[in-house]
Homo-oligomer: A and B are copies of this chain.
Amino acid sequence: MKIAVAQLNFHVGNFEGNLNKMLAAVKTAKKQKADIVCFSELATTAYPPRDFVEFDDFVDQAEETVNKLAKAAKGIAIIVGSISRNPVIEGKDLYNSAYFLENGKVKEVRHKALLPTYDIFDEYRYFEPANEFKIVKFKGKKIALTICEDMWNLGNENPLYTVCPMDELMPQKPDLMINVSASPFAYDHAQERIDVLKANVDKYKLPLFYINHSGAQTEVIFDGGSIVMSPDGKVFEELPYFEECVKTYNLEEVEKGGKVSEQPKDKMQLIHDSIILGIKDYFGKLGFKRAIFGLSGGIDSAVTAVLAARALGEDNVRAVLMPSEFSSDHSINDARELAKNLGIQYDIIPIQKAYESFKELLYPHFLGTSFGIAEENIQARTRGVLLMAMSNKFGNILLNTSNKSEAAVGYGTLYGDMCGGLSVIADVYKTDVFALARFINKDGEVIPENTITKPPSAELRPDQKDSDSLPDYAILDEILYQYIEKQQGPKEIIEMGFDEKLVRRILRLVNINEFKRYQTPPILRVSSKAFGMGRRMPIVGKYLS
């Protein structure tokens, strides 16, 4: 039997577009002589459809899409993820399902049992878990058909569920496992995924076809990397990351095994490529072409500029240099040099006049006070107004250039440098932004060396340095990583050897700045715990604050 894995980039709610992609893939799979072609989880709606599924009209359209796709299931069977209605009144109204289409019709429907409800996932918000487990028969083979999380109760330290769908299916003696999935990218997730799948294969001794989604939906990036695994637990083939592909495998060869083909997993390469896909899909799926951003001469906007130019093309990005009285000469030069290296349009708009007019307007009210945060923020917000004006006038979407370290401790100005439609690197810690800059320059200088080597500064007052108010980034980032990604509390982090006062100060900064992060643009998620929908913290809380 020949099985085609179709790893595609769907678009939330774009039923027609998603259907057309699948119809084209069915044709390709037929050419490849596949007996069956498999699409990913919720392929009709794309993942995650979020509260759209609460609309009857949306569910109707998903059902129609499955029915239209079923008509193409002639001479080939199709497995596709979509939503289905729960006919029972008690329980949630919907299932997250895998449809088996054959002879132009829906032949079988199986439901997801393990519903991820953590981090970015909200599945129990919408779906009833499956309470029965049945294999699917096709051409003399018995298929154990499961959906994503259904296989994730094995191979990890903290199983979140009391049921293992594969354990329920094994008494029916399946010949192979097919898992349709929408497993999001994080720079360390591809390896975890392989480990979990291997734990399943090691236990059940069956070949596995694992079909992932590839593409970004606002902040969530899916990396593809679909996997075919032989019963010996070896990766027969791992499909490319961040790309669409349709590839057919001979089941007998996969069963035989003896072949190993994995993708390289370099952290900086993965972050680089994922962000480029994230930008590309944000613009492409919203129907936008052009971006704009402030270029300060600093490393954050430099890295953002390179990634944007690579995602959208140098003709579609525009930089604005907005020097003030506190900007150093080298900042302008570094920014200009980068713009020239990239071949992108740039404009220089000094902010002094607008800043002065604000000071003048506020003079009678600010009388007797001294220069402080208010004045610093006016500069940052003046830049925000200018960038948004350019964005509104010319239709370029503003990219936000904040990094994760500053987003964490609130070292940024709301409505100032925190503006933007999409936040490009706010899930990348400052130390990794430096690493990413080095990665970008690995084949020749793109980002001016001075931008990488000079001490980071917001340049909002004379001779300001980040290090005036923040600890060394190497230390800051490690503490943040332990708190945010690893969810370690103050006691555990202090026990690792960090200074107690510093740890408490940083954790407090993170917690009291929840109000700022609440209003940031969506942040492209590249780590296992990004700010945004996957991290839900109270604002009015009194904890470590």
Whether A540 contacts B161 by the Cβ 8 Å rule is no
Q: With A515-B421, A543-B12 known to touch, is A89 a contact of B159 (CB < 8 Å)?
A: yes
- CB-based nearest B residue for A350: B361
CA distance A252 to B104 in the complex (A): 67
- CB-based nearest B residue for A122: B536
CA distance A82 to B356 in the complex (A): 54
Query: In this assembly, does A67 line the interface, its C-beta being within 8 Å of a C-beta of chain B?
Result: no
Copies of chain A in the complex: 2
1/0 contact string of A471-495 vs chain B (CB within 8 Å): 0000000000000000101111000
Q: With A357-B353, A360-B353, A521-B519 known to touch, is A538 a contact of B48 (CB < 8 Å)?
A: yes
Whether A281 contacts B540 by the Cβ 8 Å rule is yes
Query: In this assembly, does A539 line the interface, its C-beta being within 8 Å of a C-beta of chain B?
Result: yes
Whether B90 contacts A490 by the Cβ 8 Å rule is no
Q: Contacts of A153 on B, CB cut-off 8 Å?
A: 90
1/0 contact string of A158-170 vs chain B (CB within 8 Å): 1111100000000
Whether A385 contacts B388 by the Cβ 8 Å rule is no
CA distance A541 to B47 in the complex (A): 10
- Residue ranges of A at the interface with B (Cβ–Cβ < 8 Å): 11-14, 17, 48-52, 54-58, 88-93, 115, 117-118, 122, 124-125, 153, 158-162, 216-218, 281-282, 285-286, 347, 349-351, 353-354, 356-358, 360-362, 365-366, 369, 372-374, 377-378, 381-382, 384-386, 388-390, 392-393, 414-415, 419, 421, 487, 489-492, 515, 518-522, 533, 535-543, 545
CB distance from A394 to the nearest CB of B (A): 9
Whether B218 contacts A535 by the Cβ 8 Å rule is no
Q: Contacts of A124 on B, CB cut-off 8 Å?
A: 115, 117, 124
Of A89, A286, A360, A518, chain B has the most CB atoms within 10 Å of the CB of A518
Pick the contact of A519 from B57, B115, B519, B541 — CB < 8 Å?
A: B519
CA distance A55 to B493 in the complex (A): 12
**Can you spell out 7 A-B residue pairs with CB atoms less than 8 angstroms apart?**
A12-B538, A89-B159, A124-B124, A218-B540, A362-B389, A372-B392, A381-B384
Whether A52 contacts B389 by the Cβ 8 Å rule is no
For the A-B complex with A50-B536, A52-B538, A519-B520 known, give 5 more contacts whose Cβ atoms are closer than 8 Å: A91-B160, A125-B536, A353-B361, A362-B393, A421-B515
